[in-house]
Amino acid sequence: MKPSIKLVAGNSNRPLAEAISNYLEVPLATCQVKRFADMEVFVEIQENVRGEDVFVIQSTSFPANDHLMELLIIIDALRRSSARRITAVLPYFGYARQDRKPGPRTPISAKLVANLITRAGADRVLTLDLHAGQIQGFFDIPTDNLYGAPVMVRDIREHMDLANVMVVSPDVGGVVRARALAKRIDAPLAIVDKRRERPGESEVMNIIGDVEGRSCILVDDIIDSGGTLCNAADALLAKGAREVYAYCTHGVLSGGAVARIASSRLKQLVITDSIQPTEAVKVAPNIRVITIAPLIGEAIGRTATESSVSSLFD
């Protein structure tokens, strides 16, 4: 039996919201999200949501503050329209990298954003590959953190010869993520030990593991400037790797990242559509986008029917 739900989409990633809508065979609710002349956000839900189970699909990607305000105002509009339950579906949770105090007198912005979403009126949160798992604890409401690994594993199996593959973590902090993927495809694991001199720049120091003659797959949750992955690819090739691929869930790709990837020695970068790909990403010769719409759609369906979401990843 199909659950009775409403899907509401903000402006951050309309194609993904439409793909999720198609997967669930539930049309997107009629909703107007627009700007006044001074760029204030205005929202009007143009159909009845009283007593409904509503899912708001909105990545807080660039421009992060605009998309976050859209999300908060949509949630407030739904709460004031007497929706029974509101789930904030964030394929990409912005501010996730600010999950601790890196120095004195600095904020923990991920916690602040969690508070804003909760106070706006969300009853639960559904998100994908959080930068740090403990961010789930920043929310005082139920939070499901989905994993992009099953989608990536399926793609790797379709496109690569697993007999010669080695999974590589681009830094020590990502070892758990890389190990989980390596286990799923029964591949060995290597680690890039790097020292970051300043934000946005990285210096590769050492490769832990024998990558000689291997097809290496770098695995990460976010690719922003692309510097870390490009440097890691160079280091792996210098150590005798045959070719280097990269799989990242969230393609932030700010500044000159796309040009950097296109001119790098990465054979291919595979990202998901958790953030709407720009035109530059679509035409880049060595960047490919895979969809996470079925994964998020399935999670929404299971949440609506009170079924297990974690069994998606067993």
Q: Which of 303, 252, 289 is nearest to 92 (CA)?
A: 252
Residue 242: partners with Cβ closer than 8 Å, 6 or more residues away: 164, 213, 214, 215, 216
Binding residues for Mg(2+): 131, 171
**Strand ranges for 170-308 from DSSP E:** 189-198, 201-208, 215-223, 243-251, 268-272, 287-290
Active site annotation includes 194:
yes
Q: In whole angstroms, what is the distance from residue 49 CA to residue 103 CA?
A: 45
Binding residues: 38-40, 97-98, 131, 171, 196, 220, 224-228
Residue 77: partners with Cβ closer than 8 Å, 6 or more residues away: 43, 44, 45
Q: In whole angstroms, what is the distance from residue 289 CA to residue 272 CA?
A: 5
Q: Are 26 and 301 in contact (CB under 8 A)?
A: no
Q: In whole angstroms, what is the distance from residue 191 CA to residue 209 CA?
A: 7
The single residue of 34, 101, 194, 282 carrying the catalytic annotation is 194
Q: In whole angstroms, what is the distance from residue 68 CA to residue 78 CA?
A: 16
Coil/strand/helix, residue 162: helix
Identify the H or E element spanning 176: helix 175-184
Instruction: Tell me the catalytic residues.
Output: 194
